[in-house]
Amino acid sequence: MMPGPPIGPAGLLEWFGGIDVYLFDQLLKGRLAPGMEVLDAGCGAGRNLVYLLRAGFRVAAVDADVDAVARVRALAAELAPSLDAGRFRVAAVEALPFSDAAFDFVISSAVLHFARDEAHFRAMLGEMWRVLRPGRVLWARLASDVAIEQAVRPLGGRRFVLPDGSERFLVDERMLRAAEAELDARPLDPLRTTLVHGRRSMTTWCIRKPAG
């Protein structure tokens, strides 16, 4: 049995890293289990991967940032040295270097809202769906216009200036429901949106690929 984390905030941070609380929720629901093939598509420095690497998940990751991938490779070498460094690659999400149906769970944490336009969004979504096995789960957290519709300034192509001054590609519920219909995806949870007052709105989207 894997030992538990040291007691206290510092120990929890060491054990779980900066994992998104809504991704942690997927662990609690049993949708992520050790031994699964998990892809972090747009991994950054690996904040969502610390526990997964410790717990024996078959982690793979991509990011367009060379330095970010180097940091994730170093993290994996420390926490899961049996994993091949080739599982951690410099690549764009819209051009994933993996075979069809390779993963049981795909993570997209604060990535899709960097889409240049709707075509780019669809390309990234399509690639993540391609590498996902039938019956398995795509989990995404991305910026939306929920509850801030009147506070964002449109730039075209579904890109907006947010109240915090950043520029993001924003989705709304209608767009996500349309994507589910196109993919024949089953939503596993209600859409959950966190409003950071005066700054941005972040929506969590969790869908399952058809089994057949």
| pTM strictly above 0.85 | yes
Whether residue 156 lies inside any domain: the answer is: yes
Q: Which residues span the domain enclosing 14?
A: 9-208
pLDDT at 212: 76
- What CATH number corresponds to the domain at position 200? 3.40.50.150
Q: In this structure, is residue 64 part of a structural domain?
A: yes
- Secondary structure (3-state) at 192: strand
pLDDT tens string 141-180: 999 999 999 999 999 999 999 999 999 999 999 999 999 9
Number of domains into which the chain is organized = 1
Q: Please count the other Cβ atoms lying within 10 Å of the Cβ belonging to residue 47.
A: 18
* Domain annotation covers residue 2: no
Residue 4 lies in a domain: no
* Surface-to-core class of residue 173, CB atoms within 10 Å of its CB (0-12 exposed, 13-18 middle, 19+ buried): middle
Confidence check: pLDDT of 22 > 60? yes
For residue 3, being part of any structural domain is answered with no
What pLDDT shows up at residue 12?
Answer: 79
Does residue 185 fall inside a structural domain? Answer: yes
pLDDT at 11 over 90: no
The string of DSSP codes covering 46-81 is: -TTTHHHHHTT-EEEEEES-HHHHHHHHHHHHHH-T
